[in-house]
Structure 1
């Protein structure tokens, strides 16, 4: 698994797990957070890629609470994450809840 830190809004690979852990303790990784009714939409930088893909997926939007609870999307760049966050907020506001 590769680990990354943000330099500005750009992910940069780090050389070791300890360097990544040190970065996480000192960094603000929240990209955006929005409350819609009983749902919180949160987008953050994780700093690691569980998909092992190219390009790596390092950002994640998650819906917590409400009828869309658990909905998640991952992105490679800060810009994609911001757009994805906004798109998720709009979907939570306008799309009917998933059927049970």
Structure 2
């Protein structure tokens, strides 16, 4: 028995454009987590990566309310600082922040709201740092902005 066989039918979705369509069975190739349009948004900041994706499987495990089929998560990025040493930086926000949504539009709005929150927290933290570390982080933010433009 495969793991997929243990997940009840009717909890799987596929994307048709920006709309999630409930499936009667399991997603076929390119319909689920391997869908080409699965990445809704990806934003990099000086020390964070904020990613919003289509999940395909309803993560509303209690089945109360609408399905949770889109997700935003915040991951910590390593920053090249003070020579070649990789430094983890302690900021005033929690990594592993998670939010789930029912529609593409909600996911886009939620992603933007979380990005604003993370950027504000990082900006506050950067202002309180030593000038040397602040300079490194400002350079990392500029590099992140260039990466965002190339995506």
TM superposition score category, shorter chain reference: 0.7 to 0.9
Q: 1:16: Cα distance to partner? A: 1.0
Larger radius of gyration: 2
Long gaps (5+) in structure 1: none
Question: Given the alignment of the two structures, is residue 57 of structure 1 paired with residue 68 of structure 2, yes or no?
Answer: yes
Out of 81, 96, 116, the position equivalent to 1:90 is 116
Distance of 2:43 and 2:64 partners within structure 1 = 28
Q: What is the total number of aligned residue pairs between the two structures? A: 95
Distance of 2:28 and 2:36 partners within structure 1 = 10
> Which residue pairs with 2:103 in the alignment?
77
> What's the RMSD between the two structures over aligned residues?
1.8
Displaced runs of 4+ in structure 1, greater than 2 A? 24-28
> Whose strand proportion is higher, 1 or 2?
1
Question: Given the alignment of the two structures, is residue 5 of structure 1 paired with residue 31 of structure 2, yes or no?
Answer: no
> Whose helix proportion is higher, 1 or 2?
2
Q: 1:58: Cα distance to partner? A: 0.5
TM-score of the two chains, using structure 2 as the length reference: 0.58
